[in-house]
Structure 1
């Protein structure tokens, strides 16, 4: 599959992107096209790590019940231990970097339409913040909560394997019940405290700076092909470049330019690995008209030249 950017994958095209062998598929439910669930241990050996960066048209979550994994969401890297859910919003750039050999758990994805039959999307995100594009994606539960939510995930799997169209309403009810249990767990755990993404350095809490940084990250993932300067994103967010840089520095310890370069690098790696575009053509797509400048940028970030990276397996 040739692409000209980080690809946006549907459930039908996801398998060819993440599995080692073309055409390899996990169990499918031919009667339902807006929901899927499988066991991590059933597909672990078929996955090629790290998976190439991609977006999905569906929301997904992974529940790790044993072992651990590392998932990258946009510019953030999350270590996911046992008894932990990690959520991914639709159209967010992600890749799975690693899973332990002893991993056990569940992968589930669903189309937002499955839940919005009786709900508005904004209401769902308000009630369940881990579904937001800018939300904290990790939900770690204690043993008591785990004992309550695991049977719900198992029921989703059992119903999915029945492969019948009338399961849709049960998927919706089980998911909403699961998310309500997780929401209650988060409220008890926070005890009124603010929950921050793990990549925010200690002592750097500034809600305004954090909000601007999150909006900047979202804009980067969506518009990196059209905008490659900090000034353009500052204009989009209606703030000065200096203020944007100060906010990003306060929230992440990195400059606004550093974050832009990081997301640019994600896109460039996909083009090098999955297209036949020349290095000069790739550089030109991102506003770098001198190939030598592009090569120096890439080597500084990765330790390899673009050609060396392209030749890697």
Structure 2
């Protein structure tokens, strides 16, 4: 799977703009230009000097319709992507492809760098999507999100980001061909620093566990039993469970429940579906069982969680 436009509503550019403006008010108005629906870039330090990060809505799972990345030049961040948590600091990029669930758990107030999001269509006017994802694996759904560069390469990359920022701030005069060219140049500079899962670990249990996590992210609405995933991965349910347990300390069923919970939180906060409808989507559960499951994991009922995170729904 690369990326998917599933039927679950998400934060599109307009909703993301509303979210940021509701957080920072008029102070963030200057962050947005007519190009924002297709491309956006801003300095992290300009964001954190206005508000304490992460915000209340940041620490809950959300999904964007846009590809996005941050480049941290100072400070540290703790973020999730799917079921994995990543802590990173200086000289590091963190990529999140469109439609993948992410959470911003924490970040230092001295953080500096860049945040950028873009519509993939900006790049595919010159690239076939298949070739684009092959050339730049960090844009793939379920990719390994971190790319750490050297100080020498940072000196080459910063002018690219500064040029993107300058063009973006041109407003009505912003040229998409310039944005496209500099983004592709940036991604090309990052390619030598890309790590694959196989380079991170040759352990077979680790490999199977990572494949299982990716399968959960892709098929959680279709499969809610361990045997289905084990069959997909070509292993027995017992072997899958042993692999997951040895790598994470959790059972395969624990991870399945974590993914169910992630998707449920997104549905509660980014859609107007009723709790009963969400229960049905997440495996056709009886409402009472669904509420009991959610409360056992969060300490509150689904409706209470929705009201806390997004009172407008």
With normalisation by structure 1, the TM-score equals 0.79
1:71 aligns with 2:79: yes
Could you give the per-residue CA deviations for residues 201-256 of structure 1, whole angstroms, max 9, x where no partner exists?
Answer: xxx7425x445433432332243333322223334445543343344334434322
Q: Summarize the alignment of residues 27-38 of structure 1 with structure 2, pairs less than 5 Å apart.
A: 27-31=31-35, 33-38=37-42
Superposition pairs for residues 119-198 of structure 1, below 5 Å? 119-164=127-172, 167-184=175-192, 186=193, 194-196=198-200
Q: Could you give the per-residue CA deviations for residues 92-111 of structure 1, whole angstroms, max 9, x where no partner exists? A: 11122222222221110112
The verdict on how the C-alpha distance between 1:310 and 1:108 changes in structure 2, with shifts beyond 3 A counting, is closer
Corresponding position of 2:15: 13
Structure-2 separation of matches of 1:174 and 1:205:
35
Alpha-carbon RMSD? 3.3
Paired residue for 2:46, among 42, 45, 66? 42
- Unpaired stretches in structure 2, ≥5 consecutive residues: 1-6
Deviates more, 1:271-280 or 1:297-306: 271-280
Structure 1 portions without partners, runs of 5+: 197-203
Q: Does 2:267 match 1:267? A: no
Residue 60 (str. 1) matches residue 74 (str. 2): no
Q: Deviations over 1:238-281 (max 9, x none)?
A: 55433433443344343221111111112333455567777666
Shift of 1:29: 2.7
d(CA) in 2 for partners of 1:194, 1:232: 24
Task: State how far apart, in whole Å, the 1-side matches of 2:105 and 2:88 are.
Answer: 11
Return structure 1 stretches of 4+ with deviation > 6 angstroms: 274-278
* Corresponding position of 1:241: 237
C-alpha offsets along residues 43-68 of structure 1, whole Å, 9 cap, x if unaligned?
33456245232222221110112222
Say whether the 8 Å CA contact 1:63–1:107 is kept in structure 2. yes
